[in-house]
Homo-oligomer: A and B are copies of this chain.
Amino acid sequence: MSDWYEIDKPASTIELDDRGLQYGDGLFETIAIRRGEPRLWDYHYERLARGCRALALVTPAVKVLRARLDAALANSDCDPLFCIAKIILTAGVSQRGYGRNLPSEPRIFVGVFPAAPVKRSSYVQGVATILCETRLATRSPLAGLKTLNRLEQVLARSECLPTGAFEGLTLDADGRLVCGTMSNVFIVKDNVVRTPSLERCGVDGTMRRHLLTLLESTELSCEVCDIAASDLGEADEVFLTNSQMGAIPVNRCGDHAWPVGPVTKRVLDLLANNGILECRQ
């Protein structure tokens, strides 16, 4: 069950006239709560602020947002040592029609949910993935952002579920690798770590950013660049990142299989030593 709050008060519904429902006019963040604290909070807030600028929503002050989050956590029955918080911002109710006066003051909802930890074996042996047939529209004005317009991810994820695969990898309309339905993807080739550019589509994940920042202080080479679907098949190692899970090795995608290789193990160690305890080996 989920608990939702708006300004410290329990909430379970939203107006049908709210633009969040009518047009997906809003943003969200899904945040790992660990030991009572929102993990990678700065990165979540920064992405939300970027989204507010793109959507011409007034960016909530960081103190206000954090107070709402803390109040929701205090009110929820979920275990604050290990749960999930979801912040939803909507543009609220306005006149009918697509347009609204800019900038708009957003409504802020905070939900708290129990978290289901990923099996230890997934970190050790890796997980299976599929390549989704759903392809992402390209050169989106909303590339990188976590808006309430997520139908492409819904379609891709719904392809993935019946296969039993842990995750579905998605290509853009030009056949470039972009991300997983709920994760970012990294490939390793000749000891160089690469992750797709998210300039045209995809979601700029907070764990991806955390890892990219951490990698800067190591001797591992890392590139953010365009990655063709064929590069995936030729990779030495593949892994995913996600705010709840940290990094998880991929052992398969369709006909391709990969070992859980040395670079992936170093990445898991790096994260484990920098606040992402799930990645301890």
Contact = CB atoms under 8 A, between A and B. Distances in A.
Interface in A128-155: 134-142, 147-155
Nearest to A145: B151
B19 A11 contact: no
A55 interface: yes
Contact of A25 (B134, B154, B161): B154
A169 to B, nearest CB: 14
Contacts of A141: 134-137, 152, 155
A157 B16 contact: no
Interface centre among A136, A147, A148 (most CB of B within 10 A): A148
Contacts of A137: 137-142, 201
Contact of A99 (B90, B99, B148, B160): B160
Contacts of A222: none
Nearest to A174: B139
Contacts of A173: 138-140
A220 interface: no
Given A24-B148, A99-B161, A16 B139 contact: no
A43 interface: no
A151 B23 contact: yes
A139 B135 contact: yes
A173 B149 CA distance: 18
A162 to B, nearest CB: 8
A68 to B, nearest CB: 14
Contacts of A186: none
Nearest to A100: B158
A16 B12 contact: yes
A17 interface: yes
A14 B12 contact: no
A154 B19 contact: yes
B157 A151 contact: no
Nearest to A116: B96
A181 interface: yes
B56 A158 contact: yes
Given A97-B182, A137-B141, A139-B138, A16 B111 contact: yes
Given A23-B148, A140-B152, 15 more contacts: A13-B16, A21-B21, A21-B90, A22-B88, A25-B150, A54-B155, A97-B182, A98-B150, A98-B153, A99-B154, A99-B158, A137-B138, A138-B138, A138-B173, A141-B155
17 contacts: A12-B15, A14-B15, A19-B154, A23-B149, A23-B153, A25-B151, A54-B155, A55-B154, A91-B154, A98-B153, A98-B182, A99-B161, A137-B141, A137-B201, A138-B139, A138-B173, A141-B155
In the A-B complex, list the 5 residue pairs whose CB atoms are closest, starting with the nearest: A139-B173, A24-B24, A137-B140, A98-B157, A13-B13
